Amino acid sequence: MSSLNNQIIVVGGGLSGLSAAHTVVEQGGNVLLLDKNPFFGGNSTKATSGINGALTRTQVALDIKDSVEQFYQDTLKSARDLARPDLIRVLTGRSSSAVEWLQDKFALDLSLVSRLGGHSFPRTHRGKEQFPGMTITYALMEGFEELAATQPERARIIKKAKVEQLIKDDQGQIIGVEYVLVGKGSDGKVYKEYGPVILATGGYAADFTEEKSLLKQHRPELYGLSTTNGDHCTGDGIKMASVVGANTIDLEKVQVHPTGLVDPKEPDAKVKFLAAEALRGCGGLLLDADGNRFCDELGHRDY
């Protein structure tokens, strides 16, 4: 299959990559979307609580007296010494339009609003059916697959395509990617695609490789813990970008979620399912082995 004209290459088919791909097409660009798995989704499909937004139509309809400024202050407080006020302004200031983009473009139901940890008001939006992460991601996935089928000159998808290297020109600019096909039917060839590159490959909380593990390198004390991440979360994009000279920040900031679901038959399983923040937001209590409540369920996690 030939390359698209003036294409932008998006690496990673989770919610971030799919959002980027849709946005490029909306703005008149052409997109090649690559993913190393045989399916899209990434960790985003596992999200079970919802998406935060302040001053959304849903909040207004429910008479929730929230504000962008309060969302900003809540986020600033939670971030503490890591706060980036400039980025937090963007995140909170555009949160309403992000929620409504999903509602308007993909006809998503986000009519339920809950108050979760760290928030002063109910502002976490979800629908009435299934997990919100799965619902939102699948809507974007199906929308982009339809776009690729009906407008192949604008959108192209290659799955089971593991990007292994970023291509640089003589001036050191990134001008494309090299990838190989993986899984059944792989031919061992190295393929090249050219265009500006958006890396949306996710994190590295399942990077349990013995060599070059980002988790072992930056948070060795967490290497032995279980993860709720998919086994695809091995930091591919971070590693590729580092090889060509990109700087990294905050790689030691790995989120340790306080609650997970443990299978009594396999308590030591390396991969576990997340017990969502929504459980506590809806009134769930955390008890110790003696049945005593020991924390504020909606408080900070750094006890």
* pLDDT at residue 209, as a whole number: 85
- Whether 149 is covered by a domain: the verdict is yes
* pLDDT at residue 156, as a whole number: 98
* pLDDT (average), residues 123-149: 95
Q: What's the pTM value of the predicted model, to 2 decimals?
A: 0.89
Number of domain units in the chain = 3
Any idea what the CATH number is for the domain that residue 174 is in?
3.50.50.60
Query: Would you say residue 248 has pLDDT above 70?
Result: yes
* pLDDT (average), residues 259-275: 89
* pLDDT at residue 298, as a whole number: 81
- Whether 295 is covered by a domain: the verdict is no
Q: Catalytic pick from 89, 115, 154, 257?
A: 257
Query: Would you say residue 300 has pLDDT above 80?
Result: no
Residue 142 and residue 15 in one domain: yes
* pLDDT at residue 207, as a whole number: 94
Residue 13 and residue 161 in one domain: yes
- Whether 28 is covered by a domain: the verdict is yes
- Whether 177 is covered by a domain: the verdict is yes
User: Which of 56-65, 190-199, 224-233 bottoms out in mean pLDDT, i.e. has the lowest?
Assistant: 224-233
Residue 22 and residue 148 in one domain: yes
Q: Catalytic pick from 280, 293, 300, 301?
A: 280
How much of the chain, in percent, has pLDDT values that exceed 90?
A: 76
Residue 181 and residue 231 in one domain: no
219 has catalytic annotation = no
Query: Would you say residue 172 has pLDDT above 90?
Result: yes
Q: How confident is the model at residue 170 (pLDDT cuts 50, 70, 90)?
A: very high
* Residue of higher predicted confidence among 283 and 292: 292
Query: Would you say residue 1 has pLDDT above 60?
Result: no
* pLDDT at residue 276, as a whole number: 80
Q: How confident is the model at residue 210 (pLDDT cuts 50, 70, 90)?
A: confident
* pLDDT (average), residues 27-48: 94
- Whether 34 is covered by a domain: the verdict is yes
Residue 38 and residue 63 in one domain: no
* pLDDT at residue 220, as a whole number: 95
* pLDDT at residue 302, as a whole number: 67
Residue 147 and residue 39 in one domain: yes
Q: How confident is the model at residue 211 (pLDDT cuts 50, 70, 90)?
A: confident
For residue 250, the enclosing domain spans 214-281
Give 271: exposed, middle or buried? Use CB within 10 Å, 0-12, 13-18, 19+. middle
* pLDDT at residue 103, as a whole number: 98
- Whether 107 is covered by a domain: the verdict is yes
- Whether 301 is covered by a domain: the verdict is no
89 has catalytic annotation = no
Residue 18 and residue 145 in one domain: yes
3-state SS of 211-245 is CCCHHHHHCHHHCCCCECCCCCCCCHHHHHHHHCC
Which pLDDT tens digit goes with each residue over 108-122?
999 999 998 889 999
* pLDDT (average), residues 262-268: 92
